[in-house]
Every structure is written in structure tokens, then in C-alpha cells.
């Protein structure tokens, strides 16, 4: 009986942990399961449940894996930024008998997915054609604000984890300055880009705009703000979403300038697909290109919105397959 080599892949975020199997030969992802992180004590529990369900057939071998984690990975001990999970890479590896176990930043995984994407997995927003030999920038808003970048080198893809979502929020007009001044009161004076460009960022922008208009804000969740903006039932919610889109563009433009990202800027994350039509009509691209003397430079750089539903799992699979000798 032939043995099908499957790789355990994961996308572990602040809200959900997704696990799947990656075919070593093809990179195809299958058997995807989702686990709300609030419902489980730690990563070991969801891996145990998953393997008990999917690793029982005798013709499937799972002894290697790659998990994308939504936090900085600087040592063997990992503490999640946006949930309560904390664990040791070595202990997880030993507990489940893995011969190889990689844990990578979640946006490292997103960047590694890019070589695996087809034209149907992205939507281009402006710019010219991407240059295949130039740097690629990746960012996206969800529970937090993730950032990574990718370059081709010697027939491989080299990805660099980053924590660019924690750079300072940089306003460019009076309204954005007012948003900064309001938000500073709640974060010891320093406001990172993630405090604005994330789910909680939508709430921060909404509350700031309410204060500017001397209106008592309602206790809204990000989905409430989005729904009211799309239904046009709340003008402040509409303005919140408008600000969010242009600020997302400004941040992406800064990333493109920093990297010289003529390979393209790729926008990921779970927020934008929820209001795609609104985003398409927004000033996102205007914010992206609004770089003064370098606006003409920015006009050439393409932005791609990733629409693939499981980018983290796809990228985790690509990462470990390349590490094990597969050419992507």
C-alpha cells in the first residue's frame, strides 16, 4: 500500500485556528477545520482533536508540519498577541512526534502563498504589471495588522517576517490628526497603525468621529459599523469606512515606498472582503499614491487584493514544501 505524505498546516489567528492537510507533491490543501481560539485552552488541544480525526488511516503519514502564528516569533516560547494561548515549539513537536515542525509568522505564510496564487485569486487595483524580479510587499487588516515582504533569490522565494503593523500611525490631514489625538488618550500617547487599521481600529475611528461631532457613540462592534455603512443607515459609520479605506491605502503606499515594491503590494486580511464593492469605490488608491514628489513613482506599483479563502494554509504549505526541497 502506497503512503500519501501529508503535511499538517495551520493558520493560527487571534480569533480562529484553522488546520488542514497539505499534499507534499502538489501543495493541495484539504481537510480544513476551524476552531475558535476562545473555546480551547491551547494549540495542543486543537492539534490533538484534528489529528485524531484526520490522521487515523494507515495510508496517511503526518510527521511534518508548518503552523502560521499571528504573533512575533523570536524564541521557542510563543505567546499569542491577540488571544490567551502560550506554548513551546519544542514541546508541541515532541508531544506529537513530528520530525519537522516549523512555526512562522502569519504574514510570512501569506507572503509565501503569493507564488501559489493564480489570476483568479487576486483583484488588481491600479498600477502597471508586476515585475517578477522585484520585491513584494504584503499587508492586511483583521484582528490585527500584519506585514511581511518577499523577494525571489537563486530560484527560491525568501520571505521576511516583520511587525510593521506596530509602526506609528501617521495622519495626513486635519481629520486624521483628530483621529490620532482622540485615540492617543487610550494608548499612553502612542498610537500604532494597528490601532487604526484593524477590527478594533474601525471602532476607534468611529468613536473619534463621534467625538468630533459632539455625538455620544453607540457601543458598536466592527461588524455593526460595516453593516450600517453599507446600508447607508449611519453617516458616521460611512465616514468611518471611508477613512479606513484611504488610511489602508496610505499605509500600503508607505510599505511600497520602503521596499521599492515593483513586484506588487498584496493586500490580505479578513476585513476588506466584507465590503468589497464599497472598497472598490473608495479612495484607497488615492491614499496609496498620495506621496507628494513620489506620486508619479507610486502610480506604477500595482496593488492586488487576495481573494483566495485559505491564504494562510496555502502559504504554510508552500513554506514547508520549499524547506523540504520542492521548487515552487
Residue ranges for the known binding site are: 10-15
Q: Which helix (H) or strand (E) holds 56?
A: none
C-alpha dihedral (237, 270, 220, 225), degrees to nearest 10: 20
Residue 38 DSSP code: G
CA distance 77 to 233: 46
Q: How many CB atoms lie within 10 A of CB 200?
A: 16
- Residue that is written with C-alpha cell 491577540 in the block: 82
Grid coordinates given for 120: 483568479
Torsions phi, psi for 308 (to 5 deg): -60, 135
- Asked if 165 and 139 count as a contact pair (C-beta separation under 8 A), the reply is yes
Strands 16-23, 29-36: pairing is antiparallel
- Binding site residues for ATP, as ranges? 10-15
Grid coordinates given for 82: 491577540
Amino acid at each position: 500500500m502506497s503512503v500519501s505524505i501529508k503535511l499538517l498546516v495551520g493558520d493560527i489567528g487571534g480569533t480562529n485556528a484553522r488546520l488542514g492537510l497539505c499534499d507534499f507533491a502538489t501543495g493541495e490543501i484539504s481537510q480544513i477545520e476551524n476552531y475558535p481560539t476562545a473555546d480551547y485552552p491551547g494549540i495542543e488541544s486543537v492539534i490533538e482533536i484534528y489529528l485524531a480525526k484526520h490522521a487515523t488511516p494507515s495510508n496517511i503519514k503526518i510527521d511534518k508540519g508548518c503552523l502560521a502564528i499571528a504573533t512575533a516569533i523570536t524564541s521557542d516560547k510563543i505567546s499569542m498577541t491577540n488571544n490567551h494561548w502560550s506554548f513551546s515549539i519544542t514541546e508541541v513537536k515532541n508531544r506529537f512526534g513530528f520530525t519537522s515542525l516549523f512555526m512562522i509568522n502569519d504574514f510570512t505564510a501569506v507572503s509565501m502563498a503569493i507564488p501559489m496564487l493564480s489570476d483568479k485569486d487576486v483583484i488588481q487595483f491600479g498600477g502597471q504589471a508586476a515585475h517578477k524580479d522585484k520585491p513584494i510587499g504584503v499587508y492586511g487588516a483583521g484582528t490585527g495588522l500584519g506585514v511581511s515582504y518577499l523577494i525571489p533569490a537563486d530560484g527560491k522565494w525568501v520571505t521576511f517576517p516583520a511587525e510593521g503593523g506596530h509602526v506609528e500611525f501617521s495622519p495626513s490631514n486635519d481629520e486624521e490628526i483628530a483621529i490620532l489625538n482622540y485615540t492617543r488618550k487610550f494608548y499612553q500617547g502612542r498610537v500604532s497603525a494597528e490601532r487604526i487599521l484593524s477590527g478594533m481600529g474601525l471602532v476607534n475611528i468611529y468613536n473619534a468621529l463621534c467625538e468630533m461631532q459632539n455625538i455620544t457613540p453607540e457601543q458598536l462592534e466592527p461588524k455593526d459599523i460595516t453593516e450600517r455603512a453599507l446600508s447607508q443607515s449611519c453617516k458616521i459609520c460611512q465616514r468611518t469606512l471611508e477613512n479606513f479605506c484611504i488610511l489602508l491605502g496610505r499605509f500600503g503606499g508607505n510599505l511600497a515606498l520602503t521596499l521599492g515594491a515593483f513586484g506588487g503590494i498584496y493586500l490580505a486580511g479578513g476585513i476588506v472582503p466584507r465590503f468589497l464593492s464599497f472598497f472598490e469605490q473608495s479612495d484607497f488608491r488615492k491614499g496609496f499614491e498620495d506621496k507628494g514628489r513620489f506620486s508619479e513613482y507610486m502610480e506604477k506599483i500595482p496593488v492586488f487584493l487576495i481573494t483566495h479563502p485559505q491564504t494562510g494554509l496555502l502559504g504554510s504549505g508552500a513554506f514547508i514544501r520549499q524547506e523540504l526541497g520542492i521548487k515552487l
